[in-house]
Amino acid sequence: MALRVREAKVLLKNDFPDGAYYLAGYAAECAIKACIARRTVRYEFPDKKRVMQSWTQTSRN
């Protein structure tokens, strides 16, 4: 994730705000999925309530 954020900063600095916005959003999405995956046992389909709570908790920060 850190690499994509750095790349987004480079894009923004070089006047490519659309690409920077897209790449930063991609990095954030990957971070959210990593948090959910960390709490999920292999081959387990996560409970919808837990996934929604993960999203809500992440969104508030």
Average pLDDT estimate for 30-57: 79
pTM for the whole structure: 0.60
pLDDT of residue 61: 46
DSSP SS3 for 16: coil
Given a contact cutoff of 8 angstroms between Cβ atoms, the answer to whether 51 and 39 are in contact is no
Q: Which residue has the higher pLDDT, 5 or 39?
A: 5
Write the pLDDT tens digit of every residue in 3-31.
Answer: 988 999 999 999 999 999 999 998 998 88
Per-residue pLDDT for 32 more than 90? Answer: no
pLDDT of residue 52: 81
Between CA 35 and CA 61 the distance in angstroms is: 14
